[in-house]
A and B are shown apart, each in its own frame.
Chain A
Amino acid sequence: AQSVAQPEDQVNVAEGNPLTVKCTYSVSGNPYLFWYVQYPNRGLQFLLKYITGDNLVKGSYGFEAEFNKSQTSFHLKKPSALVSDSALYFCAGGMNTGFQKLVFGTGTRLLVSP
């Protein structure tokens, strides 16, 4: 079965430090990968996506993600964390099913301390 995994339930980082939120995928063929962020009592907001091409994808709010085919990973990164980045982050994959059904990871809570 195709799946997306987020191995960390929570990531803690101090403001100003770099942050990484991990995601790995398991899929046959070429995956389409997405990152979404969910703020309290809000819907999911699109951050970035990887379809093909450059392995480093730049997205909203200064976030970027690196697609690594050999490690089957798509980690979310930001050079300098802000307190306002504290939220729930979801990695998702649009797999080769013909129709786009997103498969989500379980989410990682990011806490940025002042």
Chain B
Amino acid sequence: DSGVTQTPKHLITATGQRVTLRCSPRSGDLSVYWYQQSLDQGLQFLIQYYNGEERAKGNILERFSAQQFPDLHSELNLSSLELGDSALYFCASSFSQGQRETQYFGPGTRLLVL
């Protein structure tokens, strides 16, 4: 158990809908990262937050947004969902934001868009 929790574990929804994925980092960790794992794209970095502020953006679509709250949990919002958004979404956390930090991953949320 990494100490990073994600809810829900599974999510089934329809095209055009909006969903929110939630992540609670390890106790004391200030950085939260979101990744998408799909069969065709592999593991891709989406976005990073550090202590409530956005720090880095990767291959995140404009239909997706995220935020980190004062209690350091984070939410990833996916809107106008398309079939291709079906994937496993991982959250990871680390104490700071440095390159030397180890990221600890949550179990993921499996999203299926029908």
Binding site for B on A (CB under 8 A): 32, 34, 36, 42-46, 49, 51, 90, 92, 94-97, 99-107
Contact = CB atoms under 8 A, between A and B. Distances in A.
A44 B107 CA distance: 7
Given A46-B2, A46-B102, 17 more contacts: A32-B99, A32-B100, A45-B2, A46-B104, A95-B99, A96-B99, A97-B56, A99-B48, A99-B50, A100-B101, A101-B33, A101-B48, A101-B56, A103-B45, A105-B42, A106-B42, A107-B43
A11 B94 CA distance: 31
Contacts of B56: 97, 99-101
A43 B106 contact: yes
Given A97-B56, A101-B56, A45 B105 contact: yes
Interface residues of B, number: 29
Contact of A100 (B42, B103, B105, B106): B103
Nearest to A99: B56
Interface of B: 2, 4, 31, 33, 35, 42-45, 48, 50, 55-56, 58, 90, 92, 94, 97-108
A49 B99 CA distance: 11
A101 B98 CA distance: 10
A43 B98 contact: no
Contact of B97 (A90, A95, A100): A100
Max chain A Cβ within 10 angstroms of own Cβ: one of B94, B98, B103, B104 = B103
Given A51-B100, A94-B99, A43 B43 contact: no
